[in-house]
Every structure is written in structure tokens, then in C-alpha cells.
Amino acid sequence: MKLAHTATIPVAPERVWAVVMDIPVAARCVPGVAAVTSTGPERYKGSLLVQIGPVRLILDGDIAITSRDDAARHASLRADAKDTRLGGTVRATVDILLRDAPGGCELRIESDVQIGGRIGEFGQPVIQRKADQLLGQFAQCLARSAT
Amino acid sequence: MSDHTIRFRLNGEEREVRVPATARLIDLVRDICGLTGTKEGCSVGVCGACSVLVDGELLSGCLVPALFVDGASVTTVEGIATGTLTPLQEAFITEGGFQCGICTPGQIVAATALLCAHPRPTDDLISEWMMGNLCRCTGYHGIVRAIKKAARA
Amino acid sequence: MSYEWHDAATWSEALALLERHADDATVVAGSTAFTLLYRQGLIRPGHVVALRRISDAARIDADAHGGLSIGAMATHSAVASSERVRRSWPELADAVSTVATIRVRNQATLGGSVAHADPASDAPVMLAALAAQAVVVSGSGATKRRVPVDEIFVDTFTTSLAPTELIHSIEVPARPAGARAVYRKFTLRSVDDYATVSVGALADLGGGTVNALRVFLGGVGPTPMRARSVERALIGGPADGRRFAEAAALARDEVDPIDDARGSADYKREMARVWTERALRSLVEIS
């Protein structure tokens, strides 16, 4: 499923870019994230707890920065996560672009999320709503962290 | 650790059985008690092939925890006829109420519950009550004819 | 993977079990939702707290104010066939009669339906329209608070209940003289399906004027969605079909549907308009 979110931030783009690309700091903006640590150059691992009603997912995953252009303020990430208890997988490619805007900048996040296994059977629409929610909260929180 | 002893009546007979907490009523009647007349069709309570009566009430064997029947009276398709076939069962034969037979146990149990609660059901009531018992073979007319015939008996 | 099953004998015992086992416990009422979620492997509780043995948990009574008090463990069938319910709110009996099949209605409970908060379910929508309240117990079972049903739903499958709270009963206000109510359910594929959209409405149309109106829609958002703009457009004006048709169009912006097997978001939005209009028109047609 394809998701996109935009947030306007009244802060200079260089400052926002620095926060966004500090992955352990930026990751704390995803609700339910715990312990993101570096596992190599541009590679990280972390854990995400997601709750949809009675269903609780604990996704353990790897994050890799697959491309990065600091001048253009454009980066791509890939996340691969598994919930070993329920037997499901999440794979997401995330595209982050920061554009100049009057008074600050505009943060645009586009992602393509593939859900596999049991979690996928829960109902794509419900998951989509949740993923959308998380992405929206992430964008808002990044905006606040940079201010 | 997670096994429980339950006591219930199964087709008129007192039973005492150990069941895992996670067992469903259909697991209890088929796998533990050996009565395989009740069928598992969809596993999600939609098709009606697993219809069972618990204290006379029509329920889905695939959705009810086995523990729920502790102290209750359970009737499966095997317990509908007592010696001879009921007028409903005879009518299913004469009116072409089945072909492959896989839905038939559920149809019989559901229709028995209907005629017990409403001995002279209207056509609308028959449809409403029986709409949760799916049949892929007959097109339903034979089933409805059988129920109406049994109601007149 | 198995679980420990506990049959609570009282509300107090059920609440104590929830305190003790916290995140690792799941509550079971009728067990329709529980069995499905467990079998799909989506929940893995270590402990199950079953409410079926709590005495008087399924009673349907008149409450102190002439309204209905429906025990949380009352099944949809019990509500549908209850003399008391049929006498004061037959529309509620009709609404819960639209759920699934007779087997599911014999097993699934009203309290469970509210607690499970499935956005496509029926009872929450009608109860919200009738301004029902959930009586929520906590602590030793003596502490009770009342939450309007239309405020208890927070998100998909999520209520505002704390993990150590339980729904004890649902109270429906006494029927005001002249009140009219309706529940319309639009199913696309088969009669026993979840609604593509459903509409629950309650109105006072005395003297040919819309004196009061509540409109809730189901299946078109993470919770029952209140069509406030429809209500505002009609309250105070004459109860006529043309005004209803115009106002129903406002329902399109009060819903937040998603694409799924029961229809695209666009289709559901349009159906929200169509079925809101039909529900409103049928309020006038009731004599």
C-alpha cells in the first residue's frame, strides 16, 4: 500500500534535515518504537510495538539507508520487520524529501508498505488506516522535534 | 495445566470428558466424542455446516468454546432421530432436500430448532431462520419444501 | 499455544483477574470475536477471563427512569425477542436482528459488541443513535461510571475502557412520547454480511417539525460516525422529504470510509448519502 504525508515546519531546512537523518532520534518519533541502535554504516535495528484493538504486534526489524543526497535533502530508507509471535512481515520503502518553503520547509514522506503473513490477513484496510495514522504522527513529531 | 473436566449431556447421554481450554464445541463432538456428523465447512461461523443445539439453542460448533457446554445438554445431528427418522428427516428424503449431503447435518439441526421454536413457520420465517445454512447443491427449494412438509405433519 | 481459562463467578472476581493478569488477559463474553481472533492467530493471551457465569449479567430490566437496562451478557437474540425491548424500543430489537445469522445472534452479546468496537457492526450504531449509555465497572465491582455509547468508541476495535474495566450493562433512555427511530442496513453481497453502510436515527417530529434528531452511520469510519451537519441542517425545520434529501448529501463529508471488499471509499461515501436519505424518509413514513 502506498502512503504519503506532508508536514510544514517553521524551521530552517538544514536543522530539520539534521534531525531527520539522525535515525535513532527520528525513530523516536514513531509511536511505539523502542531501542533503535546502529548495526553498521547507515544500518540500524529496532523494535516497534503496534496495537490495533486487541491485536498487538511486536515488529523487530532492520533499517537501511539506501540512498542519501544531503545537498538535495532527499533520502530513501528500507525497513524489513517481522513479528515472530504472530508470524507476519512488514517491508517498507520510505522516501523522504525536504523542500524549502516560506518561513521554513516542507517535509514530504512517501512510503510503500507490504504486509505479509498473518498480519496481512487481519484486513488490509484496518492496517492501512493504522499505518496512515503512524506516518502522520511521525511527520508531526519530526516537525516538533526540529522546532 | 490447561485441560478442564466438563460434564454435559450429549444426545441424551451423560458424559464426562477432559478438554483443552482452547477446544471448540466442534472439536469436542467430532474429535473427542467421535460424532463426525457435524461438519466443519468455513470455520468462521458463516456456513452453518457445524450447527449444533446447546440447551435447545442453535449455535455454531466452530465458534463456541467446548468449555461453554459444561452443565448443558448438547444435541448433534446424530441425536435428532430417536429410533426412527423424524418427519423432517423423512421429508428431506422425499422432497430432495440434499444431494452431496455435506450441509445436510447442519440443515437438519437448524430446521429441527426452527420447528421446535415455531411449529407453523411462515415462508418468511423459514427463509430468515435458515439463511445461515448454505447449500451448494440443491438451490434450497428442496430444503424449504421439506421443512414445510414437516411443519404440516 | 494455550491459555489459562478462568470462569469469573462475580464482577469483582473478573476485575481482580484483570488486575492480576493485566496485558496478558483477554475478556470473553459470547466468544464469537474471541474464537475468530484466536483461531486466526491474531491474539495470544496467557489468560482468558470468561464472564458467562456471572449471575444476572444477562438480565433485561426496566431501569430506575423507565428506560431499559440490558445486561452486558444479553445475547442479540435475547434482546431481539425481549418483550420489554419490543415494547419500548422495537427498532433496537430490529437493529440487532440484522446481525449475521441466527447462530451468531444466539451467541454474541450486546456488551461484547460494544466492547469489541468493530466499526462494521450494528449494535454500536443503533445504541449511539438512541443515546444509550454503557455502565462500566471497575475496582471491586461496586464502582460504576456511565459513558455515553457514542463517546466510548475511540478507534477501530478500540474503546476508551481501561484494561481493568468491564461493561456491566447498557442503559437505553426511556422512550420519549412521539419518538421515532429507524435502523437501515445496506449489505452488498449477502443478507448476513457486515454493512457496507448502516444508518441509525432517532427523531422527534412532533407537529411536522424536526424538533430533535440524532443520526449515526456505521461501516464508514473507524467508529460509528455522527452526521452532525445533517442534524444541524434539519433541526428546527419542517420534516419533509426534499429537505431530507438535501441534508443527506452532507453525510458524505461526515464519513471516513476505506476501500475494501464491501465497496470503494467513494462508493461508500455515496451510499452514506443514499441511505441517510432513506433512513430519514422512513422516519416520516412511520405512523
> Residue C141: phi, psi to the nearest 5?
105, -15
Give the model confidence (pLDDT) of B118-139 as tens digits.
999 999 999 999 999 999 999 9
Domains of chain A by residue range:
2-146
* pLDDT (mean) for B62-81: 98
- Cα–Cα distance measured from residue C126 to residue C142, given in angstroms and rounded to the nearest whole number: 28
Q: Name the residue range of residue C79's domain.
A: 60-172
Whether residues B22 and B69 fall in one domain: yes
* Residue-level pLDDT at B22: 97
C258: distance to nearest CA of chain A, Å? 6
- Cα–Cα distance measured from residue B48 to residue B38, given in angstroms and rounded to the nearest whole number: 10
Helix axes B104-117, B123-130, angle to 10 degrees: 130
* Helix (H) or strand (E) segment spanning residue C143: strand C143-148
Closest to A139 measured CA to CA, from A2, A4, A1: A4
Whether residues C109 and C133 fall in one domain: yes
- Cα–Cα distance measured from residue A34 to residue A52, given in angstroms and rounded to the nearest whole number: 18
Whether residues C165 and C189 fall in one domain: no
Whether residues C19 and C74 fall in one domain: no
* Residue-level pLDDT at C27: 97
In DSSP terms, A74 is beta-bridged to A69, A97
Q: Which pTM value belongs to this model?
A: 0.92
Q: Is B37 on the interface with C (CB under 8 A)?
A: no
DSSP state at residue C201 = E
Q: Name the residue range of residue B46's domain.
A: 3-79
Select the residue from A3, A49, A57, A126 to test the C interface by mutation, using most C Cβ atoms within 10 A.
Answer: A126
- Cα–Cα distance measured from residue C86 to residue C98, given in angstroms and rounded to the nearest whole number: 15
In CATH, what number is assigned to the domain containing residue B100?
1.10.150.120
CB contact (8 A) between residue C258 and residue A128: yes
- Enter the CATH code of domain A2-146: 3.30.530.20
Give the model confidence (pLDDT) of C89-137 as tens digits.
999 999 999 999 999 999 999 999 999 999 999 999 999 999 999 999 9
CB contact (8 A) between residue B132 and residue C31: no
Whether residues B73 and B92 fall in one domain: no
Whether residues C133 and C78 fall in one domain: yes
Give the model confidence (pLDDT) of A110-145 as tens digits.
999 888 877 766 666 777 788 888 888 888 888 788
Angle, CA C143 vertex, CA C141 and CA C144 arms, to 5°:
105
Q: In sequence order, what are the residues at sequence separation of 6 or more whose Cβ sits closer than 8 angstroms to the Cβ of residue A59? A: A47, A48, A49, A50, A81, A82, A83, A90
Whether residues C83 and C168 fall in one domain: yes
Number of domains in chain C: 3
DSSP state at residue C9 = S
In CATH, what number is assigned to the domain containing residue C242?
3.30.390.50
Of B79, B114, B144, which residue is a domain's last?
Answer: B79
* Residue-level pLDDT at C219: 96
Nearest residue in chain B measured CA to CA from C77: B57
Please identify among residues 54-73 of chain A the ones whose CB lies closer than 8 Å to any CB of chain C: 54-56
* Helix (H) or strand (E) segment spanning residue C87: helix C83-88
CB atoms within 10 A of CB C249: 17
Of B61, B79, B97, which residue is a domain's last?
Answer: B79
- Cα–Cα distance measured from residue B146 to residue B92, given in angstroms and rounded to the nearest whole number: 5
Number of domains in chain B: 2
